[in-house]
Amino acid sequence: MGTDLATSSSSSGAANQELIRTLLSRLGEDPEREGLQRTPERFIKAMEFLTSGYNVDLQALLHRARFTVAYDEMVIVRDIELFSLCEHHLLPFYGRCHVAYLPKGKVLGLSKIPRLVDAFARRLQIQERLTSQIAETIQTWIEPAGVGVVIEARHLCMMMRGVEKQHSSAVTSHMLGIFRDCAETRSEFLSLIHSKRE
């Protein structure tokens, strides 16, 4: 998307809203009834927010967030809530992301990891790509000994339509460096993210 759907220009904003009114009509609705009169405007604003990741400058996001530290134990940020849109049906999927890396002289500011997750999640996505994008970006930015990312998510395209399995979830992982090559490191990461919460 990359542009502001509602305000890139008044003419294009009006055109986008007219597209939504046409869609509502084709669904059998009356876009002029009270409950739907402002729906096109609201929908455009919602889509802007849900796809705002296209406008995130990753260099700016991570700038000044890389620190030189003599620390070589695993860093884990777990249970990062995420919401995204399935690119196949434009329906939401949501869940949790767990990120770990083994520093090699540099660490990333902890608050930047959830922001990085959001930057990629707020795009039209598939879970597999989302998982790898997070891992690859951290690997490129701080060059740790390894990175591990696991995402557990539920997809409304499976829950509301299609197979209609309300309790199914998808789990994806992307392991780099020592997380891929060393079973012990990978097992430690997986054990820690699934350990019982206090």
User: For 97-114, what is each residue's pLDDT tens digit?
Assistant: 999 999 999 999 999 999
Catalytic annotation present for 86:
yes
Q: What is the mean pLDDT of the chain?
A: 92
What tokens does 138 get? 């951290």
Q: Are 65 and 97 in contact (CB under 8 A)?
A: no
pLDDT over 70 (residue 2)? no
Catalytic annotation present for 98:
no
* Residue that is written with structure tokens 């690119």 in the block: 87
Q: Which of 17, 125, 127, 133 is catalytic?
A: 127
Model confidence over 130-147: pLDDT tens digits?
Answer: 999 999 999 999 999 999
The DSSP symbol for 25 reads H
Count of CB atoms situated within 10 Å of the CB of 183 = 9
Q: Which of 87, 128, 166, 194 is catalytic?
A: 87
How far CA 147 is from CA of 42, 88, 179, in Å, comes to: 39, 28, 6
Q: What domains sit in the chain, N to C, each tagged with a CATH number?
A: 10-50 (no CATH), 60-193 (3.30.1130.10)
**Residue 57 CB contacts under 8 Å (≥ 6 apart), including other chains:** none
Catalytic annotation present for 89:
yes
Count of CB atoms situated within 10 Å of the CB of 12 = 14
Catalytic annotation present for 167:
no
pLDDT at 161: 82
> In the structure, what pLDDT confidence band is assigned to residue 4 with cuts at 50, 70 and 90?
low
Catalytic annotation present for 155:
yes
